[in-house]
Amino acid sequence: MLKIELDSQDTYSVINKLREANGSDFLLEISENCPFLENLLAFKIIKSEVRNLGRKVVFAAKSQDVAGLVEVLNNDAESFGFVRGFDVGSTPSLEKPLTTRTPFHLSFFSFFKSKLSFRKDIGFIVAVVAGVLLLAFYLLFYYLPKATITLTVEAESLVESIDVIASPSAQRIDSIARVIPAALISVSSKKSASAIATGTKEVGDKASGEVTIYNKTASPRTFSAKSVLTKGRTQGNDLNYLLSNDVVVPAQISGISGVATTSATAEKIGDEYNILANNTLIISGNSTGSFIAENTKTFGGGSRRSITVVTTDDQKKLLAAVKNELEAELTSQLRTKLVSDQKMEEGYLNFTTTSIIYDKNVAEETSSFNLVFEEEVSVLVYSEGDIKGLLNDALKGYVPENYELFGKDRSVEIISAKYNGGNLFFTTKVKGFIVPKLNEKKIKEGIAGLSLPSARKYLGGLGNITSYQIDNFLNLPVFSFLPRNKDSIKIIVTRH
C-alpha cells in the first residue's frame, strides 16, 4: 500500500500521484495543513479517481485535529451526506469536532442523496450554489486553458551513401537486405522515314573489239584470258585491254610470224577506250621483238555517265535520326504506363532493335530512299515511397546516440544504377537532419501549472534548444500560468 501525505499538495498534484502509482492501493495521511481540508468535494473527487483506477484507499490522520474527518471519510458517511439517524457535524463519537464549517460541506453533499430530507433554509441553497460554482471553476481552471510550446533546436545534416536493389522477384520491402519490389514494363513501336541520296557513281559500258597477235619466235605460245594488252598514249593514262579467251599463237615459219586472232575488252568503262583499227598493242610481260598485237578492227561501245546513289553514310544518318525520334516516343509511352508513385530511371532504359528495312541498297541508283525502323524498350519501375521508406529506415542506423531524425524531410538522389541478372542496382545518396532527443513528456510535466515567468525560466534552462515560444490560450491575468493538465500542453519542435 502506497502512503501519500496530504500536506501542501493541491488536488491536481494528488490525482497525478495516484495515476502514476503502479498497481498499489493507497494510504492517504491527512495533515492539518492540507489546503483542501474543508473542501469535502475534493475528497469526493479523489475517492472517485481511486475507484476509476480500480484501487482502494484508506485515510489516516496525522493529528487529532483531523481525526473526526478521517473517520467520516473511511466510513464513507453516506457519501459525505448524513449518517443515518444523526448529523455528522454533531456526531458524539468524534473526539474533536471537525471545524465549524464541516457541517456546511456535509450539508452540501446531502443535497444529492434521495434518502435525506431537503433543507429549505437559505444557507443550504447558498451552499449548493457555491459548490456548483466551485466545481465549475475547478473544471474550467483544469481543462479550459491550452498552451502551445514551440521549441527550436539546432539541426545537423546527416548524409549517407546507401546501396539499394530493385528486384522483380521481391514481393515486399526487405530492410535488412535493402531490397524493394520492382516491375518490368515494356513498349514497342515502328517508325518510317525517307532521305535524299547524296552519293555519286560512274557507270557505263566497256569498249570491245578484235585483236591479232603475232608470234616472231620459233615456238608456239599460249596467252590466257585476261592477259593485258596496252595501248600507249602521249597524253593521259595508257589504255589496257584484256583478252576475252585463251589463245594459242603458232610459231614463226620461214620468217613469217605466227598469227592468231581473238577478242579483247577494255579494262574499264569509258569512251576513251573506243579506238580506231590498226593500233599497236603491247602484250604485258613480253618484248615487242617476240610478240606484238594489233586491233585489226575498231574498238567501240565504250561509255561513261554519273548517277546518284545511296551511300552507307546516307543510311547511317537516316537510321540515327529515326532511332532518336522513336526512342523519345517510346520513352514518353513508358511514362504514361507509370501508376501511383512509380518511378523509372530514364538513363537506364533497355532498347532493343527489332527490325531495320531499307528500300534501296548501298550504291543503288536513286534520288531518295526509305527506312522502316522497329524497336522495343523495357525498364524496371519501382515505388518512390518504397525506396524512401527503406532509406529512411536505413538512415536511422546511422543516427548518433542521443540524437534522432527530425521530421520527414529527406532528399534522395540516385548516384548510379545498373542492370545485372534482371535486377536494378542503385547507389543512392540520402540526406536527412538529426536533432538532440527531447523528452517531451518530462518537459510537459516540468512546466504544467507554472507561471509564465517560471515556465520561461524552465525552458531557457534546457540545454538542447536554441529558442522557444509560448502561445498561451486565455492569456489573461487570472490565467497567466500554463495549464495544470499536461495533456492540454502541445509541444512543437522545429529545426534551426
The model's pLDDT over 167-191, given as tens digits with 9 standing for 90+, comes to 999 999 999 999 999 999 999 999 9
Mean pLDDT over residues 341-364, rounded?
93
CA distance 8 to 10: 7
Flag whether pLDDT at 294 surpasses 70. Answer: yes
CA distance 418 to 161: 16
Q: How confident is the model at residue 429 (pLDDT cuts 50, 70, 90)?
A: very high
Q: How confident is the model at residue 7 (pLDDT cuts 50, 70, 90)?
A: confident
CA distance 83 to 77: 5
Mean pLDDT over residues 31-57, rounded?
81
Mean pLDDT over residues 256-272, rounded?
95
Q: How confident is the model at residue 109 (pLDDT cuts 50, 70, 90)?
A: very low
pLDDT of residue 95: 36
Tell me which of 25 and 211 has the higher pLDDT. 211
Task: Judge contact between 74 and 103, C-beta under 8 A.
Answer: no
CA distance 106 to 88: 8
Whether this model's pTM surpasses 0.85: no
Flag whether pLDDT at 101 surpasses 50. Answer: no
Mean per-residue pLDDT of the chain = 84
Q: How confident is the model at residue 93 (pLDDT cuts 50, 70, 90)?
A: very low
CA distance 427 to 180: 13
CA distance 298 to 277: 4
Q: Closest Cα partner for 406 from 384, 444, 438?
A: 438
Q: Closest Cα partner for 215 from 243, 246, 256?
A: 256
Neighbour count for residue 379 (Cβ, 10 Å):
24
pLDDT of residue 477: 58
| Apex 466 CA angle, 460 and 470, nearest 5 | 55
Q: Which of 88-102, 300-314, 349-363 has the lowest mean pLDDT?
A: 88-102
For 346, 354, 426, the CA distances from 184, given in Å and listed in that order, are 13, 19, 16
